[in-house]
Structure 1
Amino acid sequence: MATIRGRMARRALSPGERLPSIRRLARDLAVSPSTVVEAYDRLAAEGLIRSRPGAGFYAVGAPAPLALAEDGPALDRAIDPFWVSRQSLDAPSGARRPGCGWLPPDWMPEAALRRAVRTLAKADAAVLTDYGTTQGSLALRRLLARQCAEGGVEAGPEQIVLTPSGTQAIDLICRFLLNPGDTVLVDDPCYFNFQALLRAHRVKIVGVPFTPAGPDVAGFEAALAAHRPRLYVTNSALHNPTGATLAPRTAHRVLTLAAAYDLAIVEDEIFADFEPEPAPRLAALDALARVVRIGSFSKTLSASIRCGYIVARPDWVEGLRDLQVATNFGGPSPMAAELVLRTLSDGSYRKHLAALRGRLARRRREVAGDLAGLGIRPWIEPRGGFYLWCRLPGGRDAAEVAKAALAEGVVLAPGNVFSVSQSAADFMRFNVAQMDKEALRAVARALAPALG
């Protein structure tokens, strides 16, 4: 393959020119004909050559050289709710990403995942070739139903819909419950992609100030009275970005107000497995009457295996299944669901979670101490998870600090990308698992000009 690519790059093979025969190239390169056959097949799959039955293989033309600017993150992009996602996802290999929302590979259950991948080869052929069903794997839904029951949510497998990701779970719910122009409440600050997704649905977004005990109850009630929102989207296990935990009294008041104003609630459970002890859950207190639980496995298992889920009341599930067909023609990849099931069923997974919680607790303390040396202080001390929501010293502009760090290849998450009201300009969210000493030094250097 390298030989043919090289000849095309040097113009020794022009577009439309016939390639050497399989036997001739095998002789010239001292390889077997089968090796040449495979190489030609791969080049044809890439679109570099074309087969003409009975006439051999012909050059199509080498692709234009890829400009580096076309493949990397846009460094001058405006800092908005897409900014951290784009910079984190598109960062070159080796870049440091304490602003991203996932754990490094060596923090994930790699051995269990590799075992699951090996056993997947023995799965039924349908798992490897068919579309997913409209609700997804029954076996995985049964496992999730058992986990729901352990957390006080009574929901059978028939009340669970698997989705291609957690984000697509929210997207389905928005399609099901909202119309353009509706109003949606979010926490302020909140996960930035909630804002990005809701804007794609052309709804009005209203932020409610968030406190260490959950949404500000007075502000929540005032927003309900003033805007009559259709939906409220939140995290209740470990809040993103603050790491706060919902208090029982706040949960009770939120549900009382939701019933009074006919408000539906999406409760994102994605960080639940990081909790040392379960906090109150709106879905459990409400018995899924108006609360929808969503989640995925990207934080504790693998961000590469895309699979999310929705737990909802039965009459809503039917509509969500229809929408799943319309937007994705079925649930997640059966292979993805099978990998999740096999890994979660692995006896080592619970031990992995216990070790992960302990490792993160130590890392939160270490990073908090390192940041304190720069005058950066956490808003609260989270009970679990991998985020520290911190205030920068002297009211420094986090966006400017993030831009300066990005110039050194370090991706940070400035506060206002999380804030609907743009009231978190001097805050930064740090992923402690991604925060090494070099990233810390880059933060210190980025702060230095502002510190004068």
Structure 2
Amino acid sequence: MDLGIDRQALVPVVQQIVSAVAEWIRKNGVSPGTRLPSIRQLALDNLLSQSSVIEAFERMVAQGLLASRQGSGFVVAQPPTLHEGHWYEGAEREWGAFADNPLGELKLGCGWLPDAWRESDDISYAIREVTRTDTAGLFNYSTPLGLPTLREQLLKHLTRLRVATSLDRILTTAGASHAQDLLIRTLLKPGDSVVVETPGYGNLYRQLAFHGVRLLEVPRTCGGPDIPALEVLLQRHRPKCLFIHSLYHNPTGSSLCRAVAERLLELAACHDFLIIEEDVYGDLQHASCTRLAALPHEDRVIYVASFSKTLSSALRVGYLSASVTLIEQLASLKTLTGFGTSRFAEAVVATLLANGTYRKWVQRLRKRLRTEMAATLQVLEDEEWEVFAVPAGGMFLWARPGRADHSRLQACARRLGVLLSPGALFSPTCEHSEWLRINVAYAADERAVALFRDMGPTRSTSTILKTTGV
């Protein structure tokens, strides 16, 4: 078995082995119970150490891809008969299509990084450090504002981003969605109006609707919210808040420009509303950018961020920065509704921030995403897809085929085993749209390339399947 290991790649060798073996199983339709080549033979054929192959196989056992048989080595695992379901935006509307299947469909529009990109060794090391040095983290609640050592690291991080804050202005949360929920409960009541971008993050729409909040839609442009449209809304309504995704917007990938940012702050002061700025993808930046929280704003901007997208969604560590008065209110609600956040998870993230591991990880991640972004944009251009914006970073593209044919697109995706995130999932009213969110971390997969080409201007399906080997 030729694993095609690239020793110059940014991806660790162990993760390359995991990805290559999983792809070999999927591509060849290998049946459960099939024995894999011996560890010694696989290492010899690919000039690898046996320890690397063993670690890779053990990871695949933990993921449910392989099983270890006494005296028989490793075999392809039997898929579970009961499925918990692998969720991402919109999954609750089409649950049957999202069953947990390790060798199944390509989630081209999902909102996170592929498992093969993850660097679990660093997290494992941080976990060992925490269990060795902070046993209280295994048993005790965190403090109302969050673990002090983590908040100190967050203060340093925000200072580097030029976000003016202090320790008493920082509150940790169980991810960005938890932060948004605390803000909605504290700042809003049923019947209040808020402005949201469209397209935008579907879960935020549902959170607001659950609390009876009225949504006022403002179109997202390549440089941020459509200012003329927003001004019309402000003349007709008195919204309490504006929810905005400044950098590498989900789903369009666009970022806020300076002129729009300054005008937003002027309007917030004039019309007396708060701006809730989400920045969960901001650590992926590799170019100059504009954050509202980094500009003078007189406490009108509430900054929300998280490590779920860049580090680990399992740790569920997020945070927000706001005025001291609001932080005190949020901390009380946080304690009342959940007795705080996970001290253990916060200690792990604090360790990764303090020892420089997180900084080095996101540097590698930016470089890899930049490469994948350029390659995906080139394929889409070649196949005459329309792209909403050319992102300066991040992981998302908002695009649609030049030959818009929704039924044909869906049929092609089903045939190729590709799950899409269509535009309706990013609309407050679920309005049909031919735009798709594309996660470039998945776009190099042959099934994605076949989809792009099949919806291009000239090639036939038979030609696509033949040239890609699908």
TM-score in terms of structure 1 length: 0.77
Aligned to 1:342: 351
State the Cα deviation string for residues 323-349 of structure 1 (Å, max 9, x = none): 10122111x211100111111223333
Q: Is 1:169–2:167 an aligned residue pair?
A: no
For residues 132 and 230 of structure 2, what CA distance do their matches in structure 1 show? 52
Report deviation, 1:267: 0.3
**1:295 aligned to 2:305?**
yes
Instruction: Give the match for residue 147 of structure 2.
Output: 137
- Greater CA drift, 248-257 or 198-207: 198-207
Shift of 1:322: 1.0
Give, in whole Å, the separation in 2 of the partners of 1:247 and 1:196. 27
What's the counterpart of residue 405 of structure 1?
Answer: 413
Shift of 1:286: 3.6
Paired residue for 1:243, among 240, 253, 260?
A: 253
Aligned residues: 380
Following superposition, the deviation at residue 94 of structure 1 comes to 2.5
Please give the alpha-carbon distance, in whole angstroms, between the structure 2 residues aligned to 1:85 and 1:267. 30
Pairwise mapping of residues 44-443 of structure 1 onto structure 2 (< 5 A)? 68=82, 71-72=84-85, 81=90, 83=92, 90-95=99-104, 96-287=106-297, 289-330=299-340, 332-397=341-406, 401-402=409-410, 405-406=413-414, 409-420=417-428, 425-440=433-448, 443=451
Higher normalized contact order (CA 8 Å, seq sep 6+, divided by chain length): 1
Contact 2:274–2:300 under 8 Å retained in 1 = yes
The whole-number CA distance in structure 2 between the counterparts of 1:172 and 1:217 is 28
User: 2:217 & 2:263 partners in 1: Cα distance?
Assistant: 18
Q: Do the aligned residues in 2 keep the contact of 1:164 with 1:308 (CA within 8 Å)?
A: yes
What is the distance in 1 between the residues matched to 2:94 and 2:286? 28
- Which residue identity lines up with residue 193 of structure 2 in the other structure? T
1:88 CA drift (Å): 8.9
The one-letter code matched in structure 2 to 1:376 is W
- 1:416–1:424: 8 Å Cα contact kept in structure 2? yes
How far is 1:83 from its partner?
5.0
Query: Judging changes above 3 Å, is the alpha-carbon distance between structure 1 residues 375 and 261 closer, same or farther for their aligned structure 2 residues?
Result: same
Secondary structure, aligned partner of 2:369: helix
Label 1:82 to 1:361 Cα distance change in 2 as closer, same or farther (>3 A).
same
Find the aligned partners of 2:98 and 2:165 in 1 and give their Cα distance: 35
What is the root-mean-square deviation in Å for CA atoms of aligned residues? 2.9
**Which runs of 5 or more residues in structure 2 are unaligned?**
1-79, 461-470
C-alpha change, 1:278 and 1:176, in structure 2 (3 Å) is: farther
8 Å contact from structure 1 (residues 213, 250) kept in 2: yes
Distance change (3 Å), C-alpha of 1:80 and 1:122:
closer
1:340-373 CA-to-partner distances (Å, cap 9, x unmatched) read 1111223333222222111111101112223334
- Unmatched 5+ stretches in structure 1: 1-65
> 2:415 & 2:86 partners in 1: Cα distance?
11
Q: After superposing the two structures, state which structure 1 stretch, 409-418 or 235-244, moved more.
A: 409-418
Which stretch shifts more, 267-276 or 430-439?
430-439
Give how far 1:404 is off.
Answer: 5.6
Q: Which moved more, 1:166-175 or 1:92-101?
A: 92-101
